[in-house]
Amino acid sequence: MSPRLTLSLPVLLAATAAGAVEFHAAISVAPQTVTEDRGSPYYVGPPTVDTPRRSGRNDLQLRMQEGGFNAQGILRQEVADGQRPGYHGIANQFYYDGQITPGLGWTVGKKVMPWGVGFGFKPLDVIQREDRRGINPPPLVGVPLVALERLTATDAWTVAWTRPGQGNGETDSRDSSLALHWYRLADGDDLHGVMRVSQRRRLEAGFGATHIVGDEWSVHGAALYQRRTRQRTNTLPDNGGTFATTDPMVEKTGGGGVKSVAGVQWTGDSGLSVLAEAWYDADAWRRRDWQALDALTARQRALAGFAPPAAIDGNVAWSSQAYQATNLLRENLLLRLAWDDRDGFKPYADVLFTPSDGGRVYTVAASWQGNRQRFTLGARQAGGAADSAYAQAPIRRVLWAEWQLALF
């Protein structure tokens, strides 16, 4: 458990009793059920991979604010079939917002800082890097930073030094960087510009906008150039090998690449909305990359009875890490139908397509928000063409639910 979170809790409760701060607490229960596809070439069972069929997280969420000081933390219990419960303390945010002069402010601490436009994918989100397609994701965890913000009548400028002094990190979210964000609201249109300099990516720069058309339509788009692309790939297809004795999945650095998104949304007076959005991710695999991995996995499976089972299962399990990527393929298309009844009930259904291989992901979910409670139910299933990446995923279906109650 985080010492900072543990030591701060008595102080926050005492301050609340004295009426000095604004304090909120909530509890949430979020169970999840997973259905594996035992016919998938990437499925590996126990003891090599033991995926719990049922799991869940139970959170006590704490938030406080006093002047410019803000803190958000979670005390979490994680449960899963066949495993002992785990307990964690998470400091989501812990920062101070100050002011130098009117219109010029500063921030220091750990803060959630999402940037850019997009629904299923946000290329300009170069600081937070939120996975927009996560299944029932928990509250975001902020990034340590020092920032300056300049506000004028039409523009907002933010300069952020993230993870000061940390240097080159093993992932983008852990990489120290200097980033700039520009925002303007012009005649109802949102304009965004970003630039980020880091050791992992060198230079990232992009622009995005949202344009409102009449009372019911909106269009949005964004593009980001990255001097370096990063892709986690299996080295065996490149070197002609069949088995590895250590994890062959390594991150490779490539030349310049682009991430982009474009979408259109219609929203009617009844609360019904339709979204169509397409995006491209240069960090994701191409169709031929998946075909090479499929061929490697088939060669490994064909040696059953000749090669040790542990070697086959271990190598297939290593290859299945490819399914941890945010986007499995570069080209993606999302169609979404949603409804907001204005009384807290919000159902939706969407389909994600990967046109290059015919893959599909179906999602249906609904939430209801009351004064103090919130309920969520959802299901997601992978499918599509038999040889597509999603259709061959070792996880076929996920069902989830969440109940949240605001205590005060």
Q: What is the mean pLDDT of residues 22-26?
A: 95
Number of structural domains in the chain: 1
Task: Tell the burial category of 157 from Cβ atoms under 10 Å away from its Cβ (0-12, 13-18, 19+).
Answer: middle
242 or 174, greater pLDDT: 242
Distance between CA atoms of residues 143 and 305, nearest Å: 49
DSSP classification of residue 116? S
Cβ atoms within 10 Å, residue 167: 10
Element (H, E) at 265: strand 257-267
Evaluate the omega torsion of the peptide bond into residue 47 and state whether it is cis, within 30 degrees of 0: yes
Domain that holds residue 256: 3-406
CB 364 within 8 A of CB 349: yes
Residue type, 70: N
The pLDDT tens digits for 268-303 are: 999 999 999 999 999 999 999 999 999 999 999 999
Q: What is the mean pLDDT of residues 380-405?
A: 97
Those residues with Cβ within 8 angstroms of residue 32's Cβ, 6 or more apart along the chain or in another chain: 54, 55, 56, 135, 136, 398, 399, 400, 401
Q: What is the mean pLDDT of residues 46-70?
A: 94
Distance between CA atoms of residues 91 and 4, nearest Å: 8
Cβ atoms within 10 Å, residue 343: 10
CB 100 within 8 A of CB 82: no
CB 404 within 8 A of CB 59: no
Handedness of CA 318, 319, 323, 325 (dihedral sign): positive
pTM: 0.89
What does the DSSP assignment read for 174-206? Answer: GS-EEEEEEEEEETTEEEEEEEEEETTTEEEEE
Q: What is the mean pLDDT of the chain?
A: 92
**Has residue 14 got a pLDDT over 70?**
no
C-alpha of 51 from chain center: 21
Q: What is the mean pLDDT of residues 190-213?
A: 95
The pLDDT tens digits for 167-199 are: 777 788 788 999 999 999 988 799 999 999 998
C-alpha of 316 from chain center: 25
Distance between CA atoms of residues 408 and 390, nearest Å: 42
Distance between CA atoms of residues 210 and 188, nearest Å: 9
CB 129 within 8 A of CB 172: yes
Position 175 scores a pLDDT of 86
What does the DSSP assignment read for 71-110? Answer: EEEEEEEEEETTS--EEEEEEEEEEEEEEEETTEEEEEEE
The pLDDT tens digits for 92-143 are: 999 999 999 999 999 999 999 999 999 999 999 999 999 999 999 999 999 9
CB 340 within 8 A of CB 268: no
Distance between CA atoms of residues 125 and 194, nearest Å: 9
What's the first-to-final CA gap in the chain, in angstroms? Answer: 23
C-alpha of 261 from chain center: 16
**Has residue 13 got a pLDDT over 70?**
no
**Has residue 245 got a pLDDT over 50?**
yes
Which CATH number characterizes residue 230's domain? 2.40.160.10
